[in-house]
Structure formats: structure tokens, C-alpha cells
Amino acid sequence: MSEPLPFAGLGLLVAAVYYSVKSPAWRRGVLLLANVAFLTTFFPGWRTSLPLAAFLIGSYAGLCVIRQYPRASFLPVLSATLTVFVWLKKYAFVPAGIRLHFVYVTVGLSYILFRVLHLMIDAAAGSFAKRISAVSFFNYTAGFTTLVSGPIQQFGDWLKTENPAARPPLTRARAWEALARMIQGLFKTNVLALLFSTIQSRMLDAALTPGPVNQKIFPGALALVLYPFFIYCNFSGYIDIVIGIGELLGMTLPENFDRPFSSDNIMDFWGSRWHITLSHWLRAYVYNPLLVGLMRRFPSQSVEPIWAVLAFFITFFLIGVWHGQTTEFIFYGFLLGLGVSVNKIFQIVITKRLGRKRYGALCKNGLYIALSRGLTFSWVTFTTIWFWADWQQIRNLTSALAPRLVPIWILIFVVSTIALALWEAVYQAAETMAVNTPPVCSRCLKVVLVSAALTITISVGILMNQPAPDIVYKAF
Amino acid sequence: VDDLRRSDILFIRLNNCLFPQYLYRMTLPVPSSSREIVYTAAQTAANVILVAIVLAAAALGAYSWMHAQSHLLLRLAVVLIVSASVGLLFRFGLVVRVLGASVFLGLGLGVYTVEGLSIALTDPDRPALHAMEEAAKKDGIIFDDRTRLEVLAELRSRGVAAWPPFYPYLLLNSPLRIGDEEVLPLGSLGNARTVCCNESGRYVTYTTDEHGFRNPPNSWPNIPADVAIAGASSAASECVGDSDSLVTLLRARYPRTISVGAGGNGPLLELASIREYLPAAKPKLILWLFGEVHTPEYLEGEANSPLALRYLDPAFLQGLLSKQKQIDRAVASYFDQGIKAGEAVRRPAHRAGEFVELTETRMLMYYFVSARFTPHKQQPEFDTGLYERALREGVKTAGQWGGAVAVVFWPDSSRYPGGPGYSPENTLRLNSVRDTILKIAAKSGAAVIDLSHSFPEAGDAALSNVRFFYPFPAHFKPAGYRVAADEITAAVSRLGLYKESAEIK
């Protein structure tokens, strides 16, 4: 059911049933039923659901205990929750002998964990005045809209619209915006992601086929560059559908992406443009406490920047490791941490050298921004290799392109710098035009684009019988 | 209004729809605010778009009707588009009209994008090509991904007179004209450099003999021949090189072996080849190949061809042997036309035309609709009676010079583990076809050589099948042909089918 088209269909069905009943209690029932039904679609048998169900029940019990005895129980409960998570996710370092030896499903477990930890930490800090009911806990942690790939909504924000009576009415404009967002998401997941993945795999094949290495530069570079675009369309498209369904049901879910390839440094990319809610979560519950802890433990102004770099490294290393259980993802985490740390050190050093004012001026320089964007994109492309390939594939690709690796990366940097600068110029021009254009024109343009996107999506899925690639983040 | 006639009202409405500014100027004050100007412009744009859509749809309808392409779907689409546009023009207010025009524009944009995508994504040969590429890679061969047309063009540009292979079955219902008569050639041009096919990763090319079959040059004057092979593509040794061809392999034991096979031949065209050419060669033994998957399909096509059916009449002959020069000219011209048509299809103007006509999208819609609403076509029932008649005629023909006929049951790779599409159920189904064929062959007075047990059918031995078969539907690999040739040679001597001292009349 996590395939984009059936998922969007389910969203529409739930919305139809939701609005067909008037009483808030019934509407709450409809949502609860939808959450349970959605979750059950992932389980081939009742046994496969036991670990996830036990995790949810255990987490809720832990939350209740923390509310009752915040000081004494917080650390043991938190440690137990994390241990069970690591055990159920079968991380590489978990000995095979102690793993569960039957097939079970852990769909959305990572996202459930983020929400559970957020509740536990905030409960320990005394943030919740009222007791959280079991139904609210379940709806928040395993809501069908955000279960599979997020976004990770703050409980406080979620609570504001928990009661259907508190939700804004569904106006024609709201419904149109929601549907348009869902169609945009479907277009990304079912057409653009498919296109990028198809071309990427063809290019990869071409790059790995025996032959003169000069003929592999272009396919090799394209295979590397297209994956970030694929994963962006795959993930952000699904999030668009999620946000659209949420909008239909009167819930305003947080945005998870903000034109990530326009980032001009790696901290900007990970911090506020890519998987934003995860970054915010980590900032709130890992980076900030870690930095504060280090600064309290070693209070010296001269070492503060070092702690900041260290906290960045650890936070982003954790982001990488969160993505998967294999050594490739550990290395991926190391690269993310390395990139962000180097970025932070560069900022510290250059600010010291140039001074804040001149560094600020440099950051506004068009050429500097274009080069930074190209570099950021190239680094993201490089690190993403450990996201989509295993060591064997990386070895094969490296040996196939070995004599031309440096030219390939120079090509990627140069082309991405120019292409992203052009794209940004076009985007800015379009933004300016949109501001100066009468609303009727921009609305018409939106209708044209949405109709086209819907036609293409349906045709590709049904006529061309090309299924959308799997949602990659479903696995996390 | 009461004084106006209906046609006047319609005219005013049309005017109102198409030129709102003009009417504004006539009846209302000129729009002053920018909001009004924008709305008037939007209305005009919507009207122009809707009228353009009506005209385009009508033109499409007329074009398809004139070109006899008026499918139900197309007619329905035209009617729907025209009625929706006209409805929007005359029945609805500004907002709906502008919205409708925007939706139409979006649909148009979407449909043409789909056309572009379907050209890029759904190359019908792509999955097959990909499988071939993978197999070639495993064999350490750099896959030649050119089309046959590109190979021909390249050879011709170097001054080599290269030709595609000749498939007689393509002309079953439209024979070539030689002088005043219609002729169905069974062989290609004589002594023609032929670019055949590519299954291994490299194109197989060969030169035809003087009658356009795949034999070494000067095969025909060696009368009487030892062995003749009749059949479809396997008899023409597609797609292996000359050194691995069935003729070459059998010549190791029977030096005067010739083939009169051609791709796509079914029992009637095979009988035709035997009747037209083999009386001149008088082979002591005719190996008549029966391809277990394709022969029944080919026979179904031949059963609808009056010309092919006439070969069941012992008195009928086209006299092809003596018409080789005319056949050469006719086949060359047929090929040239085909090559020209193939090149025309690749020209940008033709492709642009196809794009405008939404050729790919219409094809996809056709497949989509026909897959759902057309009753499932049953596997053709093999016409055993017709096959038996053809076989008997062949045996009778060979008997005229004292030759014998042996039906060689040529197995399909899909019946073996490791072959493409293998499943035990499929093998069971193929076995029942095999048993029927073998019975008919025996009944018709032909000997039987069953090759279906020549390749490993189960167990660890079946792992070696990758040496004989490609992992995609294709002909045998060279090693497969060698096994077949060895098995045939052994069976011929075991059954005593070839008699050195046989008297040829």
C-alpha cells in the first residue's frame, strides 16, 4: 500500500469517508480505522506484526512510566527503547544468535522511534500537562499519512488538529491545493523518479560494459549525477502526497524539502533543505544537548568551535548510520559528518581570516554562490554513492572508470555549477514573474500543469504499464 | 431579440465568444481596470484555444477517416473533445470556460509528453536487447547494438552490396511480380552478401549460394546431393557463423549436404522448396526439420495462402529453379523498397509526423484496450491433417528419385532447465505436441529423428545447458548446433537412413 498511486487512492477514500460523517467522534474513528487498516496492509500474517505491535505497546508503557517517574525512569526506559529498536532492525553489529528468527515487518519503525523518543524526552522534561491517551499515542506515532516516510511532526503541532472539530473546514480552494499537491507528488514518484532511475540504470550498464574508458566518461558521470535527482523525486514526491492527503483531512504537516539542490553549502543542504524534519529532530535532540553538554563540561570559549564541529560530526554521522544497517551506511555517515565538519571548519577559518563583514559580502557574491552550489551538489553526489551501491558495485564502478575518475568529477562539478546557476536564474525569473502576474494567469498555468502532470502520470502507470520505483525511504 | 432569427442569435453568440473585446467596445464601456483587461484577455485566450481544439479535433477526425484509421476510440475521442469544447464555448461562463481551456491545454501538453516518453521508454526491442547485451557481456563479447538497417547502410557505404535475409512467408499474401505473373520466391538473391541476425552480440553475415539459400558457393552442380535440409530458420542456421552452420557440420560426414531452408518457413513452404529445388539435387536423404514451437504457428499462416496451398497439388510448380535471374532482380527491388521505407521511417520529418499523430500513444491505447476487451486468442490449434498431407507430398516427391525423408524434431530451448521461460508444465505441454508430430511422421512414411532428448533435461547436467542456449528466446548457440548435428549423424547411421549405394533415378 506504500506504492504512490494506491496510497493516494487510499488518501482520497479516507477523505471521502471522513467528510461523509459529521460527528467529530466518528471522524476520529474513521482516522483510527484508516491508521490500523493501513498498517495491517504491510503484514502478510499476524506473527509478522508482533514485534512492531510489541514495540508500540512497550513504548507507550515506557512513556507512561516516564510521566510518572521522570527522573528515575527516563534513562533506563530510553536505553531500553533504543536497544529494542537496534535489536529489531538487525543492525550489523547485533550478534545473529540473539536476533528473532522469524520473518517480521518493521515498516516505519525508524519514524515511530523518532516520535517515541520525542515524546519520552519531552515527557521527562515535563512538557505535557495532560496524559497522552493510548489512541492519541497510536494515531501520532503510526498515523497512516506519515508512517512510512515521515515527515516527523512535533507532537504539539499534531495535537492542535487531533480533534477533528479543531480542523479547518475543507474549502474548494483547500481541496484544489491538496489535490494539486498530491498530483505533483505522483508525477514526481511515478514519472520523474521512474525516468531518472531508468536512465541511471542504463547509464550504469553502459559505464560497466567492457570498452574504451573514454566512452564511459559521459554515462559514468550521468549514472552518478542522476541518483540524487531520483532519490529527491522519489522521496519528496511521496512527501508531497502525504502533505496533500494531510491537507485534505485538515492537518497541516511540516515540509520536508526546500529546493535542496539550491543549497550553497552542505550544512544548508542537510540542515534546512533535505529531510528537514529529521534534521530539526536531530538538532533538537542530539546536536543541541550534545553541544550544551560539551560546553558545560569544558567551558572555554577557545574550544567552543571545536565542540560545535564535533557535535556536527556526531549528528551527521548518526544521520548516515540511521539510513541503513550495513558498513556502507557507516561509511556514508562518516562522509556526511566529514563534509559538515569541514564545512564548519572552513566557515570558522574564513570568518577569522576575512572578518564577519567581508565573509558576509563573499557569501553574497554570485560567482562564489554558484561555485559553492556546484561543490555542494558534487559532494552530495559523491556521498550518495554509498547510499545506493554496495562495496562490490563501488569497486566495479571505480575500476571501470579508474583512469578517468578525476576528469569525471571535474566534469560533474563544472556542469552542475553551470546548470544549477542557470536553473536558479530561471527559478528567480519565474518567481518574479509569478509575483507580477495577475492571479488568474498563475491559476490557469497551475491548472494546465496539474492537468498535464495527471495525464502523464496516469498514462505512464496504466498505458505504458511502468510501475513507479519503490519508495526508498520505506526501508528505513 | 424576438425579432432575431435563430441563425442571427447563433452568430451573435459565436461573435460574443470569439471577440469579447469587440463587443465590449460596441455595447459596453471599454474595460478600464487592469483586472477587467486581464479577464478579457483570459477569455479571448480561452476562446481561441477552444476553437483551435475544435478545429484540430475535426481535422484529426477527417484525416483518420480519409486514411481509414477511424477506430472507435479515435471517433469517441473526437466526439468528446468537440462536444466538450463546444459546450464550454456556448454553455458556460467565463470562469469555467477559462478553466476548461486550461485543462484542455494541460491534457494536450500531457499527451504529447507521454508520446515523447513512450518513444524514449518503451522501445519494444529494449528488454530483448538488454537480455542480449547481458548474455554477450557474460561471453566477453562487446554487443553490437546497431540495427540491421544500420549495418547494411554501413556496408553499402563501403561499397559492399549487402542485403537482409529473405523470408518467403512475408510474401505469402503479396507475391512479387515477375513479368505478368505473380511469383513467390523461396530463396533470396543468388550469391548475395547477407546480414542475417544478431543473437550472440555480433551480426552473422554470410553469402548465399546461386539459388539464394545458405550454402557454400557452387553447391548445386554436385548432383546427386547426399543430404538436403528443409525447414525454417534453424535449417538456415540462424544465428551462427558459417563454420558452425548445420550444413557445414553435416558436411563433415556427408560432404554434399545442402539446405533449402529459410526463416519463417512452415510445412507448406518447406514442401514448396522441396518440390521446386530438390528434384535438381536429388538428395539421398531429406532432413525435414520440425521446430516444435514455431512450425504450428507458421502453418497457420500458410493455411490462409492460396499459393502455398497449391503445393499440395503434385502438378503445381512455379518453376523457380529456372527463374533465378528474374528472382534476383525482383528480390533486389523488393529489398531496396524495404530499405528505403526503413530509412524513411528513420528520417526526422517522418518521426515528427508520427509524433504529431501521436502514433505511440495510440498504439499504447490500442494495446491497453485490446488487452482488456478483446477475447483472449487461443493458441492456434495445430492442423495435423494439413501437416500430414504436406509430409506425404514431400515423401512422395523424394520417392520420385529414390530419396528418403526423415522428420527431425527440433526442440525449443524453453523445454530445458536453463532455457528461457522454462517450466515443467511447459515441457509437459510441448511433449504432447512432440508425441503427435512423431506419430504423424511415422504414419506418413517418413523416418523420425527426435532431438528432444539430446540436451540435458534434468539434474546437474542441465546446468550445462547455458552452453547450448541463450537466456532469451533465440536459436541455438554454436554448441547447440554441434550437438544437434552429432545427434542427427548418429541417428541417420543408427536407423540406416543414408545408403551410400542407394540408387538415384
Distance of residue B324 Cα from the nearest chain A Cα, in angstroms: 44
**Chain A residues touching B98 at Cβ < 8 A:** 440, 444
Is 60 exceeded by the pLDDT of residue B7?
no
CA angle, corner B349, sides to B345 and B353, nearest 5? 85
Is 50 exceeded by the pLDDT of residue B29?
no
Phi, psi dihedrals of residue B499, rounded to the nearest 5°: -115, 115
**Residues contacting residue A255 through CB under 8 Å, at least 6 positions apart:** A151, A239, A243, A276
Distance of residue A111 Cα from the nearest chain B Cα, in angstroms: 35
- How far is A467 from A193, CA to CA, in rounded Å? 11
- How far is B365 from B372, CA to CA, in rounded Å? 11
What pLDDT, on a 0 to 100 scale, did the predictor assign at position B26? 41
Distance of residue A190 Cα from the nearest chain B Cα, in angstroms: 13
Whether this model's pTM surpasses 0.95: no
What pLDDT, on a 0 to 100 scale, did the predictor assign at position B22? 47
**Chain B residues touching A449 at Cβ < 8 A:** 106, 109
> What are A310-363's pLDDT values in tens digits?
999 999 998 888 887 788 999 999 999 999 999 999 999 999 999 999 999 999
**Contact: A464, B106; criterion CB under 8 Å:** no
What pLDDT, on a 0 to 100 scale, did the predictor assign at position B16? 60
Best residue in A194, A443, A444, A462 for a mutation probing chain B (most B CBs within 10 Å): A444
**Contact: B361, A466; criterion CB under 8 Å:** no
> What are B57-66's pLDDT values in tens digits?
888 778 777 7
HEC sequence for A79-101: HHHHHHHHHHCCCCCCCHHHCCC
**Contact: A195, B109; criterion CB under 8 Å:** no
The three-class DSSP label of residue B450 is strand
Q: What is the mean pLDDT of residues B125-135?
A: 76
Q: Which residue of B has its CA nearest to A441?
A: B42
Distance of CA B116 to the CA centre of its chain: 24
**Contact: B39, A447; criterion CB under 8 Å:** no
**Contact: B106, A455; criterion CB under 8 Å:** yes
In the structure, what pLDDT confidence band is assigned to residue B10 with cuts at 50, 70 and 90? low
- How far is B288 from B265, CA to CA, in rounded Å? 11
Is 60 exceeded by the pLDDT of residue B30?
no
- How far is B487 from B451, CA to CA, in rounded Å? 7
What pLDDT, on a 0 to 100 scale, did the predictor assign at position B135? 86
Sign, Cα dihedral of B409, B415, B421, B424:
positive
**Residues contacting residue B97 through CB under 8 Å, at least 6 positions apart:** B43, B46, B47, B50, B88, B89
Beta strands in A161-308 (DSSP E): none
What pLDDT, on a 0 to 100 scale, did the predictor assign at position A311? 93
What pLDDT, on a 0 to 100 scale, did the predictor assign at position A136? 92
- Between A295-304, A361-370, B496-505, the lowest mean confidence (pLDDT) is in B496-505
Instruction: Report the b/e string of A52-85 with b at 16+ CB within 10 A.
Output: beebbeebbebbbbbbeeeeebbeebbeebeebb
Is 80 exceeded by the pLDDT of residue B253?
yes
Q: How many CB pairs under 8 A join A and B?
A: 92
Distance of residue B339 Cα from the nearest chain A Cα, in angstroms: 29
Q: What is the mean pLDDT of residues A153-174?
A: 88
Distance of residue A185 Cα from the nearest chain B Cα, in angstroms: 16
Q: What is the mean pLDDT of residues A32-55?
A: 92
Phi, psi dihedrals of residue B404, rounded to the nearest 5°: -115, 160
What letter would DSSP give residue A262? G
What letter would DSSP give residue B253? T
- Sole residue written with cell 560539551: A294
Closest-CA residue to B235 (of B500, B484, B491, B487): B484
Tell me the Ramachandran region of residue B261: left when phi exceeds 0, alpha when psi lies from -120 to 50, beta otherwise. Answer: beta
**Contact: A450, B106; criterion CB under 8 Å:** yes
All cell numbers assigned to B3: 425579432
CA angle, corner A157, sides to A154 and A160, nearest 5? 150
Sheet of B193-195: strand order equals B162-163, B193-195, B205-207
